[in-house]
Structure 1
């Protein structure tokens, strides 16, 4: 537990303001990706059913949509950013290594590059946290 506390303290101390705008953009991207999953469930069911994983396709789609919409919103406003990013990790790891790599590792596979960038940013925000322009920081200052 000591290591996690040290990582959290380091992340809170080394958080430039431009990362807040990047966090808001990442949250908006995830939110709209969740909305697009709900809008095109047939395509998503096709992608998930092709994975040969023994789980319910409908459950997986609802988990992805729910996690992206609510997790993206929470990341965008900076509320429980680390927790919301951790909830996104299984989705992005599956997207990178099981879904998008099947389509090939080329510069034309834009979904793979978007998934890789999103995965990198999620790991970054797990380490550095939500920043100064966030709901977490507001609650920390005004909780007393």
Structure 2
């Protein structure tokens, strides 16, 4: 817990508006992907076709859309950002793995790698000053 407090203090001293905008864009992107997966479950099932015979395959399909949807909202507003990103990591790692197990789609692979890198940055950086986490912390 002490490490998180140290990281939050560092992030609050070094916060910049472009980083907060990047966090918001990441959250909106994940939110839109969640809506896309909810509206097009056939596409999601097609993506999971290479690993459908693995244990928990159906659970994974039902985890992706809500995790993107809810995680995207939380990341956009900067509320529980690190926890929301940790919930995204298995999905993003799976997106990268699916490209190697199934049919290779370079655009999706680059998008998944870029998203996981940005998520890794925000796990370390936190939500920043322009977030609900910071607002609630200052209300104490």
Q: Please indicate the TM-score interval, normalised by the length of the shorter structure.
A: 0.7 to 0.9
The reply on whether 1:78 has 2:83 as its aligned counterpart is no
Corresponding position of 2:25: 25
Residue 94 of structure 2 aligns with which residue?
A: 94
- Unpaired runs of 5+ residues, structure 1, are none
Q: Residue in 1 aligned with 2:115?
A: 118
Say if 2:133 is the partner of 1:136. Answer: yes
Distance in 2 between residues matched to 1:13 and 1:129, nearest whole Å: 12
Distance apart, 1:2 and its partner CA: 4.8
Q: Distance in 2 between matches of 1:87 and 1:71?
A: 7
Aligned length: 139
Moved over 4 A (4+): 1-5
| Deviation string, structure 1 residues 96-117 (Cα, Å, up to 9, x no partner) | 1x1123444xxx7211111111
Shift of 1:84: 0.4
Distance 2:125 2:82 in 1: 9
* 1:67-126 deviation per Cα after TM superposition (whole angstroms, max 9, x unaligned): 100000000011010110111011101111x1123444xxx7211111111101111111
Provide closer, same or farther for how the CA distance between residues 42 and 141 of structure 1 changes in structure 2, counting only shifts above 3 A: same
Equivalent-residue separation in structure 2 for 1:76 and 1:87 (angstroms): 15
- The question of 1:43 aligning with 2:43 is answered yes
User: Corresponding residue for 1:62?
Assistant: 62
> What secondary structure sits across from 1:54 in the alignment?
coil
Q: What is the CA-CA distance between 1:51 and the residue it aligns to?
A: 1.8
Residue by residue over 1:22-67, the C-alpha shift from the partner in whole angstroms, topping out at 9 and shown as x without a partner, is: 1000000000101111111112112213125623433212211111
Give the TM-score, by structure 2 length. Answer: 0.88
